[in-house]
Amino acid sequence: MTDQETTHFLILADEYFKRQEYSNAEFILNKILKSNYFNSRANELLAYLNAAKGNSSVAKDLLVRACSQQDSTPEAFYYLGILFLKSKNFNEAIFNFEKALLISPNFIECLHDLGTAYTNIGNNQKAIGTYQKALLLNQNIPELFYNLGNTYTEEKMFEDAITSYTKAIKIAPNRPEFWCNRGTVLSDVGRYEEALSDFDMAIKINANYPDAWYNKATTLSDTHNYKEALICYEKANSIANIPFCLGLILHHKMLICDWSNYETLTLKIQKLLRAGHEVIEPFGYQGISESENDLLLAANIFAKQYTHEKNSNVNSVSGFKNKKIKIGYLSGEFKNQATAFLMVNLFECHDKTKFEIYAFDNGSDDQSDVRKRINNSFNKIINIKFVSDDAVVKLIQHHEIDILVNLNGYFGEARSSVFAKKPSPIQVNYLGFPGTIGAEWMDYIIADRVVIPESSRHFYSEKVCYLPETYQVNDSKRQFSNHLVTRYDAGLPQDGFVFCCFNNNYKITPENFNSWARILNSVPGSVLWLLKDNSWAKENLIRELLHRGISEKRLVFAEKKPHFEHLARHQLADLFLDTVPYNAHTTASDALWCGLPLLTLVGATFPGRVAASLLNAIEMTELITTTRSEYEFLAIELATNPHKLSFIKEKLINNRTQTALFNTSRFTKHLEDAFHKMMNRYSLGMPPEQINVENLN
């Protein structure tokens, strides 16, 4: 076939293309390729035909051939890039998009998709620059503003994200995803009312848009409107199978003590979890699961979202490069919160001649008394709340952190995506999340032999670092209000026995409540004093008590108070009744510090063994039970035997200052010994292994 004939047939094929006579076009193109196998235009057009028929592999081969010629078009490179983008071969996509742009720098669709490819390899800065370049050419493409907003969001450049989403909405106000994503960012920066308004607008446009219902639920939960959040989670779940949504439904039912369909829902979640589904977040599952294997499985599944292509391997600093070991504590709770209450004295007690300690704060300075102590304890506090993951990694490496301690795990203001990038040579899971992270990027978990018995080590992805007395640090300087509190002030009877439980409401399971009802029935005149976390929980608990044939007068609710005042009112109670499978943790320390005996039932998982660990450390093992019948029997015995209870209270008050639990200085030395052992292994090139810290003489 001559060049003139080839040109003629290409023109004819183009005409058939325009008239959508694809079979005729395909016949002519194949005829051209029989004569000229590498004809760029024929390969390109035939590729488009194959792509339209779903033959992506054939189309890719044809476009590779088309792009190998000098006369290749920018469109050929662009569509080859699109095929690579669809198959998630992002680097090849970028290569071909850039080739297209060398030929046609103002190819706006190509700039847009190049930005998308950059975001998929985690190069958000290049993506932002590419989107901005495209917007210089055309300000009327809403998807450009939308994707730019998404990239700003990933970089935690929230104000820029809001601006971009707003521009997308202005161009295309009927796109629910634009409203939904702006609402999510508004929620992230605490502008909750505006966020809820955006979610409502998205729902108005499309009542079956699941993300809007889901994100609205999350915002409602963040503002403690658990009842409405539950309704929205249920709506989202009815529309689509959203990962972990069913678990959030269960957790929010527990937050308001709504136990309707409790057994059916928990069994359904367990079945789906064991089948490998993304059904429940690990933290929510700790409140109801009594299986260490199931908790490990939940963590394994949850961790997978962080272990993906964008997580790059980071070069570790060399062991003992620094004269002092540099410890980084990463948390969103360096404020008036339980983790800070426990940790603050540890920060103060660290040996600053041997350690430099850094706080990577994913929260904010709330100006509280505990935060002021924290501010005075660290060598440096670095706020990372509005800093991208990659930038946080660089900060950690810049400060040459040897050991990075994860104080959140999967709880609260966590930054699991930072830990997944392995910015520090040694990474430790401690305190905030009582369980395994279920991922290879966490090296150690701090524990003791009560919370993780030797026989349970295989349920933890981390190597266990055993401390000798208890894993939980406590503040030996904690104080409570000098204000005299009376039972009358608290709405308690003057003479009756007061059982109490100040645990969060989600820890109260039907089985716990059944035990408490039997105990109340066996101790005439006694009351149960619970924390009022929300009004829905109060109403549901009263109804549950009435359903068990007990007067609502036997149930008293404690309003939330400042921490010092809350500690002071412990003296009004006679016995703290613990919950299982999730015990009192910080709340248990509060009770024991205030001289209030705590009765626990040992659970089958880490969160269900914490109170036993604390009682062991304060040498009050007589308050540890192993069966529910024993738990109920001892509660009744202590309530009806004042001499025995008085003896226990006196012993507890004496042990508070004579035993290990509240000896923060001693605990700190144990933890520092653990850190030294971790660093010694690392400096010798040895992988993480079980560590046993010996008791101080």
- Domains contained in the chain, CATH given: 3-221 (1.25.40.10), 245-306 (no CATH), 325-466 (3.40.50.11380), 487-658 (3.40.50.2000)
Residues 653/645, Cβ–Cβ less than 8 Å:
no
**Helical H segments across 523-583, by residue range:** 535-547, 563-568
Exposed/middle/buried for residue 622 (C-beta within 10 Å: 0-12, 13-18, 19+): middle
Exposed/middle/buried for residue 549 (C-beta within 10 Å: 0-12, 13-18, 19+): exposed
DSSP 3-state of 398: helix
Name the amino acid, one letter, at 286.
Answer: Q
Query: DSSP secondary-structure letter at 181?
Result: H
DSSP 3-state of 127: helix
pLDDT of 36 above 90: no
In the block, which residue shows the tokens 């917007």?
A: 135
Run of H or E including 157: none
Name the amino acid, one letter, at 429.
Answer: N
pTM attached to this predicted model: 0.94
Q: How many percent of the chain have pLDDT more than 90?
A: 88
pLDDT digit string, tens, across residues 136-152: 999 999 999 999 999 99
d(CA 396, CA 385): 14
d(CA 596, CA 588): 9
Cα angle: 568, vertex 570, 575; to 5 degrees: 165
d(CA 537, CA 539): 5
d(CA 455, CA 292): 11
pLDDT digit string, tens, across residues 501-512: 999 999 999 999
Of 374, 411, 399, 405, residue with least CA distance to 672: 405
Of 566, 31, 534, 190, residue with least CA distance to 341: 566
pLDDT of 481 above 90: no
Name the amino acid, one letter, at 371.
Answer: R
Question: How does residue 51 score in pLDDT terms, banded at 50, 70 and 90?
Answer: confident
Q: 441: how many CB neighbours lie within 10 A of its CB?
A: 20
Residues 172/166, Cβ–Cβ less than 8 Å:
no
Q: Average pLDDT of the chain?
A: 95
Tell me the average pLDDT across 59-76. Answer: 94
pLDDT at 2: 67
pLDDT at 19: 78
Residues 606/581, Cβ–Cβ less than 8 Å:
no
Q: 650: how many CB neighbours lie within 10 A of its CB?
A: 11
pLDDT of 177 above 50: yes
Q: For residue 329, what are the β-bridge partners? A: 359, 405
- Strands 463-466 vs 691-692: parallel, antiparallel or unpaired: parallel
Q: Which residues contact 685 (CB under 8 A, 6 or more apart)?
A: none
Residues 142/172, Cβ–Cβ less than 8 Å:
yes
Give 355-394 as a DSSP string.
EEEEEEESS-----HHHHHHHTT-SEEEE-TTS-HHHHHH
In the block, which residue shows the tokens 């700003």?
A: 152
**CA 260 vs CA 250, 253, 264, 280, 510: distances in Å:** 10, 8, 9, 18, 10
Run of H or E including 195: helix 192-205
d(CA 650, CA 648): 5
pLDDT at 311: 47
Residues 179/201, Cβ–Cβ less than 8 Å:
yes
d(CA 145, CA 461): 41
pLDDT of 547 above 50: yes
pLDDT at 48: 86
pLDDT of 320 above 70: no
pLDDT digit string, tens, across residues 239-280: 999 999 999 999 999 999 999 999 999 999 999 999 999 999
Task: Show the tokens assigned to 248.
Answer: 């959030």
Of 508, 529, 469, residue with least CA distance to 669: 469
Between 31-40, 123-132, 494-503, the lowest mean confidence (pLDDT) is in 31-40
pLDDT at 35: 75
Task: Show the tokens assigned to 179.
Answer: 């409203």
Question: How does residue 322 score in pLDDT terms, banded at 50, 70 and 90?
Answer: low
pLDDT digit string, tens, across residues 507-530: 999 999 999 999 999 999 999 999
pLDDT at 25: 72
d(CA 634, CA 613): 19
Q: How many residues does the chain have?
A: 697
d(CA 99, CA 561): 64
pLDDT digit string, tens, across residues 79-126: 999 999 999 999 999 999 999 999 999 999 999 999 999 999 999 999
Residues 7/32, Cβ–Cβ less than 8 Å:
no
Residues 357/379, Cβ–Cβ less than 8 Å:
yes
Run of H or E including 464: strand 463-466
Q: For residue 168, what are the β-bridge partners? A: none
In the block, which residue shows the tokens 């007395």?
A: 469
d(CA 66, CA 83): 14
d(CA 415, CA 412): 9
pLDDT digit string, tens, across residues 323-344: 899 999 999 999 999 999 999 9
d(CA 212, CA 205): 10
pLDDT digit string, tens, across residues 309-318: 344 454 444 4
pLDDT digit string, tens, across residues 606-621: 999 999 999 999 999 9
Question: How does residue 41 score in pLDDT terms, banded at 50, 70 and 90?
Answer: confident
d(CA 93, CA 325): 43
Question: How does residue 549 score in pLDDT terms, banded at 50, 70 and 90?
Answer: very high
Query: DSSP secondary-structure letter at 598?
Result: E
d(CA 166, CA 178): 8
Provide the terminal-to-terminal Cα distance of the chain, rounded to the nearest Å. 95
pLDDT at 312: 46
Of 630, 168, 248, residue with least CA distance to 410: 248
Of 247, 243, 231, residue with least CA distance to 283: 247
pLDDT at 218: 99
pLDDT digit string, tens, across residues 428-441: 999 999 999 999 99
d(CA 102, CA 440): 42
Q: String of b and e for 15-30 (b: at least 16 CB within 10 Å)?
A: ebbeeeeeeebbebbe
pLDDT at 215: 99
As separate numbers, helices (DSSP H) first and strands (DSSP E) second, the chain gives: 31, 14
pLDDT digit string, tens, across residues 221-235: 999 999 999 999 999
Tell me the average pLDDT across 657-673. Answer: 98
pLDDT at 318: 44
Tell me the average pLDDT across 386-394. Answer: 96
